[in-house]
A and B are shown apart, each in its own frame.
Chain A
Amino acid sequence: MLSLLENNGALRWLGKQLFNREDPAAFFDPLLASIDPMLVRQYVPARVVDIVDETADTRTFVLQPAPRWQGFAAGQHVNICIDIDGVRHNRTFSLSCSPRQWQQHGTVTLTIKRLPGGRVTNWMHDQLTIGTTLGLGEAFGEFLAPELPEPLLFIAGGSGITPVLSLLETLAADDFRAPVTLLYFVRTQADVIGAERLYALRQRWPAFTLTVVATDEGRTPQYLSDSHLDAVPGLSARRCYLCGPQGLMDLAGDLLYHRGIDEHRIHSTFFSAPKAALPDDDLGGDVRFERSNVSVEASGDVALLEIAEAARLSPKYGCRMGICHQCSCRKTSGTVINRVTGKASGPGEESIQLCVSVPQGPVTVDL
């Protein structure tokens, strides 16, 4: 019934008048949440229905989103929001299951590796229990399967396998006939994420070739090299998908470029662990003001408000000393240092005061 307040134009208008908010249905959330957290409207709630160990530091979380969730295409990612110690954290993860699982069982999976020092991933591993709910955003991303069958090469590293698992299972279920090769780089064989699923795919899907490279198991580290690519038949005709740590992505991009593979046929999805903020890191960085479509480079101890003004933007402001919150706005990504407290922010989306926030590395602001 509350969805009417969201979807019916007239009722939504009325709801805004009555409850003084842009999302009138969420007015009732505090009451609904105490009946059942799956009833809230502010975000799409998803219940954790199972947690499965993949490797020593990676787990798969099976989620059951509320039915109004819109679904996804293989290879896409989602934002999730989680309240940790009173603070809401937003993070992006790839969905690691095929869309069929959502269509048939109403569940989706996120496969998440612990990041050293990462607040959200560690909390999810240590504190998140079956039965609790978290917020799930709508899926997005362009790391998608080809529309027509053609030979494919996937190069994945570590937990970069997650969207690839989703793509492979979808292709296999569609009985994709063109050759598909996966080069999967892991530290040791024990670090293979989704091992059972990958080996099962190899068993039942003839078009699929799986090569797992354990980089740390030989006498010398084994990184992606020409010899790996030489072993892929008909490489130049393949559409390529890259997902992994920055080093692997750069290396793969270079090698494929030298083999003359058109860059339009190379898909990569952004995957980099948020860098833990260090106090001695240099201040400043590339600042992007999203709504104004302005990017500037800042250096040193200069607050975002001054950076914005120097870029000829005119954000709202008041005291310019961190008291009045007139200049508060959303930071969508990146780390800032609060000049008053000296503390570093998290890397995700959150509200900051422009007048006392100094960028530390690249920052994107909703301004």
Chain B
Amino acid sequence: MKHTFVVLFITLVSNAYAHQPVMDMAPRWNNGYGVQTRVEHANSETTTWLEGVYTFKPSLRMTLKVPHSNGKTGDAILAMPIKRYKNDGAFTSNWGLTPSVRMPTGGGSKWDAGLSLSYSAESRKVYTLYDLYTLGDTTGIDINAGLVHSDGKGSSWFTLWDITAKDSDSGQHLLTGPVLVYFKRNIIVRAEYKFEAYDDDTQWDGNYLSIGIGMVF
């Protein structure tokens, strides 16, 4: 049932971002699962993503992302994050290696393989994520860094800054901007707005906005 649930909720997008569904850190527990929907506006186009994640154990997850735009479903991305955690006092970190495959669910016939190498670390006050990835003709790096505030009653605010750089057959672009993340028990809300800092990409134009909400169980 849980597996079926996850498979039903996937995400999409014509531009595949490296973030795992719901966020890098959740769900971290055995047999945990989560779903997230996100609305993304970029290149004068609005895309709705459905994303799902299932955590077999902290070191092994499976994620699925399915985009939907202009009434059409895009190419889904299936990935298997493999993580190695280190917990030390008031600090937790992990290295991640994530093979992925983009499937031609949008009507094409091309399959793409991908691989991501990531590192994230979190203390009581600071969160950082570095993700270097390649998928199809795209290679990118994504950096999140910022402050964490927890109220001790089940809620946390993450105030982050994001830098995203991509290189593909169509050129290069670099986006940067603020990210706000709010947790309340098992609910997460994430909003990000990134400005175009550099654009030499014939397939990219303008800024980027994403707003999403997810739940983990």
Are A and B bound to each other?
A: no
